[in-house]
Structure formats: C-alpha cells, structure tokens
Structure 1
Amino acid sequence: MRSKSLGSVKRACLTFVTLAACVGVSVSLCPAHSQTIAGHAIGEDGSKLEADQRASPNLTTEYTTVELSIPNGIDVTATYQNGSNKIIRIEATPRLPEPGASGQFGNFVFGKTSLSEIRSRFGSKGLLFTGVAPATATPDGGVTIVSSYEVQGTNIIASFVSKISAASLGDLNRRFGEDMYGHIESVAMLESTVVADIDYLKLTRGHELVYDVGYAPIVWEDAMSPVGVARGISLARISPSQLPAHRIYKGPINAPYFTDASARNFQTRIAEGMAGGPVFAGEYAVIQVGCGTGCSIAYVASVRTGEVSRIPIDDEAAQYLDLKYQIDSRLLVTQSARGEALKCHMQFLTMDDGEWISLLERDIGPTESCYNSIAQNLRN
C-alpha cells in the first residue's frame, strides 16, 4: 500500500486480509448521469427531497439525514449539510434480504456481486482512511469489508460495502482453518453502495489516506447508463501478480480424485502430470491432453487434495489450445480457436476456493491468430 497525507508519503499495508485484484477497466460515459444513486447526486439541494420522508438532524446539528424508499427495492439514505443544503453523502441498500436489486453501479447486484468481483473490476483493493478499520464485525456475527475508490475527475469517493455472514465465516473456518481469510473475497457479497464528498469523509474519518499498490481512481459507471456504452479493456493491464496464490503447497502429492467424469479417461496422463508437482495457483498441476489434429482438452489437479477439474473452455475439444499460468498466481489464460465462428478466442480465468471464475473473454482475431502464443498476441 502507499499512504498519502497532505503532501507527505509513506508506505503502509492492510492488516486485515489480502484480497486480490485482476482487471483494469476504463469506461467512456456520457456525464449526464455520472455519480448518481437512485437519481440523486452529491452536491444536489438536499432540502428539496420529498417532505414526507423521514428526516433526523445529525447529533452535531451540522447535517440532516433523509431516508428515501424508491420503487425498485432500494432504500436510500441521503445526508446534506445544513446551511448550504448540499448533499454530501448518499448510501443505497437493498430493501429486502433477497438478492437481485441493482447495486447502483454498472452491473453490480446487491447480494450477488462478490468482493472478489468488485476488486477485480477496479484492479486494486482501493484506499483506506486510517481513522476507520477496513473490516468490522456486525451484531449478527458477520463481517463487513469496505472497498473505497476516488471517482476520477471529481471530489467524490465511492465505497462498496461487502458482507460475509456468520454462517459463511463458520463454514470457511471449518474448511480452511487459519487460511480462511484467503478465501473470504469470493464469499463476501455486496451489501451497500455509498458515494460521499471527500472533504466530508476526511472530517469524519481522518485526513490520511492509504492506497493499495496498483491503485487508480475509478470511472463511475452509472446503473442507469444506456445499453451498449463502449468500454475499453486493455489486456496488457492484466497481470498474474494481481491474483497472487494464497500459498505454495510443498506437502505430499495425493492421488487423483476424479469429480469430472471425462477426466477418468486420462487417469494415467493426469497422475503423471501431478507427479511433477504444482505449477499453477500454488497447488495445481496442469494437464493438457491431445484429442486429434490440433485438438486438446485441459485439466487442473490439486496435488494437495487430489481433486481434478476441467478447465472451462467453451469448446468441448479446443483447437490450437494454448495456456498461460504460473505457480504463484491464480490467473490462468486460455487461447483457442472457435471453429464455427472462425475466431481465435482468449479467456482470463481465476481459481477461487476450487471454483473457476471467468474474468474476461475476448476474440483477438481470425483462427490464424491462434498460431501465435498467448504472449505474442498480448504484445500485438
């Protein structure tokens, strides 16, 4: 992490848990609806909010907080400064416990968008105010984790609050023991979205900010943005170091355990691949099996548990398949030709808690592009 406080710079780090990131996204948007939550924005006149909504003065009498219920299953809390009447903080939360309501940013969804997806979307863990802990216990035994980012070109900070329930914490503890926090980001789900004026936050949380390595301000993507808004995604920004392996397994190599029925056809080949030890994500062997001219199937096998799973490539049997991975990262890149589409397709995957998550897919050219290696195509 890097820390910045009114002209001074020092090094620091998050003390609670390391949560990985993977993809940097730049978005070009029409500014008409930028930084809005449920139709309201920082800097608006808060005194004009509906008079029949509940309002309660802040204890300092400097601020008024208004609670709004809007039709799409979202509750909004808006705080404005008495005197200027300018809104300085807006928070949106789902009204009902069932997931599915808009997270008020892009395609984020309350109760469904994971902390891992949030951090992956923005390419870092964000920033912290040193006066506030990044994670706090909740009365029901769960934990909330806040990921905050400056909104590019504004004086606004957007925060995404994720929660892991007590039941999920208990399950992680039973499964992973001391390593449980290495898996928390895939279980913690978006609970609320907040935008606030940075000067207000510095008054209430402290002036010193701590920034994650690789941090960059985000471009706000309003949930009301029209379909078809263009995005520019730079493949070159995706780095294996953004998804570090939680640990490198150095214990005994277990016998393969086949949960994928197709893998049983290649038991000998998979066992031989596992004998060489892990080469991906700290504990996995990668096995690529030929199935004809230019055709192959790929599996990963945990040398720690023995579990074997198929790498989720779109085609049943990939043509001109190339894989890129390394032992100290959970990022795996696949490249293969799509026969019917006559396209060379690249996919970025991560392995979290034994499950594959697709981060990004992209056609990179005609089938002939797959004659090049992944590294070559990423340089082009």
Structure 2
Amino acid sequence: MRSKSFGSAKLACLTLVALGACVIPIPTFSPSYAQTVAGRAIGEDASKFVADQQVASSKPAAEYTTLQLPSPNGIDVTATYQKGSKKIVQIEATRQLSLPGASGQFGKFEFGKTSLSEIRSLFGSKGLLFTGIAPVTATPDGGVTIVSSYEVQGTSIIASFASKISASSLRELKQRFGEDMYAHLDGVALLESTVVADIAYLIGTRGNELVYDVGYAPIVWKNPISTAVKPRQISVARISPSQLPVHRIYNGPINAPYFTDASARNFQTRISEGMAGGPTFAGEYAVIQVGCGTGCSIAYTASVRTGEVSRIPIDDDAAQYLDLKYQIDSRLLVAQSAKGAASKCHMQFLTMDEGEWISLLEHDVGPTETCYNSIAQNLRN
C-alpha cells in the first residue's frame, strides 16, 4: 500500500495507523513558469500589478495575499502571492454563472460545458488527492463539487479542475436511475473552476501526503497524457477516514425501512434487524451485508434517521468474498470483492455525500485469492 509524501529526499516506508499504508517521499521538481491561467503564471513577480489590484482576501494573512484580477470574458480570476517574495503561488479561474461556455483555461475545456467524465477520460485517471482536504464537498445551493488534481509534468505545479453537480441534476439523476445514479455523476458534473498552484504552497495549506488513483500519470499542460509518460506503478491509494468526517451522529428514534431498491425488499427482515442495532457508518447509517450463496453477498446501507435503504455500489451486483471497512464518524467506506470475469480482487474507495454515493478511487489488489485476505491485510501489503 503506498501513497506519496513530500519531505525527505530518499524513500522511506512508515506505518500509517488509519489504513496501514506506506508513505513514500518524492523529489521536488524544478520551477517552471510556462503554465498560465488568464495570462498569469506561477512564479511570476506580482510587484508590477499589486498596487493596482483590489485585495480580495488573505490566506493565511501572515504570509499570503489573494488579489482579484481583471477577468477575461466569462470568468473571474484570483491570484495568490507570497508577501515576502512577491511571487505568485496560485491562480484560480472560476466561471461566471451567467456565462457558460467561457474558456476553461486548459486546451478545449469550457466552463459549464466540459464534463468530469471528459476530464478523467482525457487524463486517464481520477488524479491525486491531498489527504488534508476533502475531494468532495457540498455546495450552499444543495449541489456537490468534485475536485480532480494532477501534477504538471516536469514542473513544481499542480493543476486542479473543480466540477459541480447542481442540486437539480442530482434530483434528476435520482429520479431516472434510483440507486444506480452514482454511476452517472461524472457525466453531469460540469467544469466550474481551474486552478494552478505551486506544490510548496499546497503542502502548507493541504498537507504533504498525496494519494494517487490507479493508472495515474502527470499531465502535459494543454495536451492529453503523453504516450511517453509511464503510469506510476502504485499498489493502491490511501484515503484516511478522518479526511471525510461527519458533522453529527444520530441518536434519535430508529425509523422503519422503506425501499427504493427493489432487490432490498427481498431482505426486509435482515435489514430491519441490522437497523435495530443503530448506526455504524457516516453518522446515521446501518450497514447490512446479506449472503446470496457460497462466497456471495450483497450490501446495503439503511438510514436509521429516515429509513431510506440503498445498495452499496459494488462493481458486481452480487459480490464474491465481499469485505467492507467503515466507521460511524466518517463518510468513507472501503469495499473489497472478487471480480469473477476478470479473475481479480478489486478494492473501491467510496464516500456517502448528502445521501448519495460517489466513487473516489479504485484498484485491482491482485488475483482472486487475494480477496481471502481482509482489507486491513491487503492495505498493509
């Protein structure tokens, strides 16, 4: 199990308590100023325009200042610079809601039009995560934002693309696909903002441990992944449960289950019994795993607060050798099961956000027999 960490110049493997992963430092990159957003570049001297700009905010106030810059048509632009050196360390372009279709500042990307599935397809993976910040957040208007980040090849820069699913799109997906809606999120999440930032700045604000998706490789700015770039050979990505905390744990009355998934009705008694024990996941959900034959099982979550029952979106409907890892104070659930057709043991990292499932990362752990081990064992290997 490996993740990446900045710091020491040589490789080291440290035991991590939460999921038993290995932390491996990587070397820093040489600076490069070729990547620009709205005509501004990381590392550019901000002195020439600081006096003429309106200060939008400071973060943190003692060391960095963020300015609102003149915006090209259809986007808002901010630049964060280090007060001491006056060097720009982050640039963010965000679409103006009334003007969809403005340049997404990368290749042919367009704000409000380019989907998350297009971004991930172009880059070949879901990107990387900083363990100090959640990749999925709820928005004030009831939507959800998903951030995908990638190193820019040969530089000290990370590019991030934030895609938003509106509240209305979430409702429509729920109505059309029911419990299978999670599989369609990537297609309706639309590009909301593009950010480029210096790695050293991000370490200070997001933490120095990175988690890489399966098949990850750095991106070439304004181009798809180069065929000459070899994907990182990693075992599986690490996400800490503490990265996706819940804000409260429900301790009220347990409501009777109601079923939006037709298959769950076949297990009404088993699900009711599982709910009677109270929540065990994400603050208000009971997790129920039901056998369906030799080595086969199906898993559900049931909200003891609302009674809503939903199937956990494992790749195979009836999973072989299914193992689940979760806890009551986190929205992270790790599922491991054998994929029969592929003869492989597969691991998924999922999060429950506002009652909806979102897939974060996936990984093939090994051959089918690897699933005889628990998740904890495979995360230590």
Instruction: Please classify the TM superposition score into its range, dividing by the shorter chain length.
Output: 0.5 to 0.7
Give me the identity figure in percent. 58
Once residues 352 and 159 of structure 1 are traced to their aligned partners in structure 2, the CA distance between those partners, rounded to angstroms, is 21
Choose which of 127, 132, 136 in structure 2 pairs with 1:124.
Answer: 132
Task: Write the distance in 2 (CA, Å) between the matches of 1:233 and 1:289.
Answer: 32
Q: Contact between 1:295 and 1:321, CA under 8 Å: does it hold in 2?
A: yes
What's the CA shift for 1:38?
A: 6.0
Which whole-Å CA distance do the structure 1 matches of 2:88 and 2:207 have between them? 31
Whole-Å separation in 2 of the counterparts to 1:366 and 1:32: 41
Letter in 2 for 1:124: G
SS of 2:313's partner is coil
Alignment of 1:93-132 (within 5 A): 93-94=94-95, 97-98=99-100, 102=104, 104=106, 121-125=129-133
The amino acid of 1:326's aligned partner reads: Q
* 2:375 counterpart residue number: 374
5+ unaligned residues in a row in structure 2: which ranges?
A: 1-22, 54-66, 82-86, 117-125, 135-139, 172-187
Q: Distance in 2 between matches of 1:376 and 1:196?
A: 36
* 1:58-84 CA distance string (max 9 Å, x none): 583599x77667xxxx869699x9xxx
**C-alpha distance in 2 between matches for 1:259 and 1:198:** 44
- Tell me how far apart the structure 1 counterparts of residues 314 and 131 of structure 2 sit (CA, whole Å): 24
AA of the residue aligned to 2:133 = K
Which amino acid counterpart does residue 240 of structure 1 have in structure 2? Answer: P
Question: Residues 10-21 of structure 1: matches in 2 within 5 Å?
Answer: none
1:367 partner letter: T
Shift of 1:216: 6.8
Offset, 1:98:
3.8
- Which of residues 60, 63, 72 is equivalent to 2:51? 60
Q: Which residue of 2 aligns with 1:249?
A: 250
2:314 alignment partner in structure 1: 313
Where in structure 1 are there 5+ consecutive unaligned residues? 1-23, 47-56, 127-136, 172-186, 202-208
How many aligned residue pairs are there? 293
Whether contact under 8 Å (2:33, 2:41) holds in the other structure is: no
Q: Secondary structure of the residue that 2:129 maps to in structure 1?
A: helix
Letter in 2 for 1:374: I
CA contact (8 A) 1:343 1:366 kept: yes
Q: Which has the larger radius of gyration?
A: 1
- Tell me the residue number matched to 2:326: 325
Residues 158-185 of structure 1: CA deviation (Å, up to 9, x unaligned): 78788899x88xx9xxxxxxxxxxxxxx
Provide the rounded CA distance (Å) in 2 between the counterparts of 1:325 and 1:158.
31
Distance verdict in 2 for CA 1:77–1:188, change over 3 Å? same
SS at match of 2:269: helix
Are positions 1:192 and 2:219 aligned together?
Answer: no
Cα deviation digits, residues 46-105 of structure 1 (max 9, x gap)? 9xxxxxxxxxx9583599x77667xxxx869699x9xxxx99875544587447965649
Give the corresponding residue for 2:363: 362
Residue 294 of structure 2 corresponds to 293
Does 2:275 match 1:274? yes
The whole-number CA distance in structure 1 between the counterparts of 2:267 and 2:243 is 33
C-alpha distance in 1 between matches for 2:207 and 2:329: 18
Q: TM-score, normalised by structure 1?
A: 0.57
Do 1:33 and 1:224's aligned partners in 2 also have CA atoms closer than 8 Å?
no
Question: Partner amino acid for 1:290?
Answer: G
How far residue 257 of structure 1 moved from its aligned partner, in angstroms, is 1.2
Contact 1:25 1:234 in 2 (8 A): no
1:181 equivalent in structure 2:
none
Query: What is the DSSP-based 3-state SS (H/G/I as helix, E as strand, rest coil) of the residue aligned with 1:291?
Result: strand
Hey, what's the Cα distance between the residues in 2 that align with 1:32 and 1:225? 21
Q: Distance in 2 between matches of 1:164 and 1:364?
A: 31
Q: Indicate if the aligned counterparts of 1:89 and 1:197 stay in contact, CA closer than 8 A.
A: yes
- Give the Cα–Cα distance (whole angstroms) in 2 for the partners of residues 110 and 25 of structure 1: 37
Change (3 A) 1:254 1:223: farther
Change over 3 Å in CA distance of 1:357–1:35 after alignment to 2: farther
Aligned-pair distance for 1:328? 1.1
Amino acid corresponding to residue 123 of structure 1 in structure 2: T
Q: Tell me the equivalent position of 2:223.
A: 224
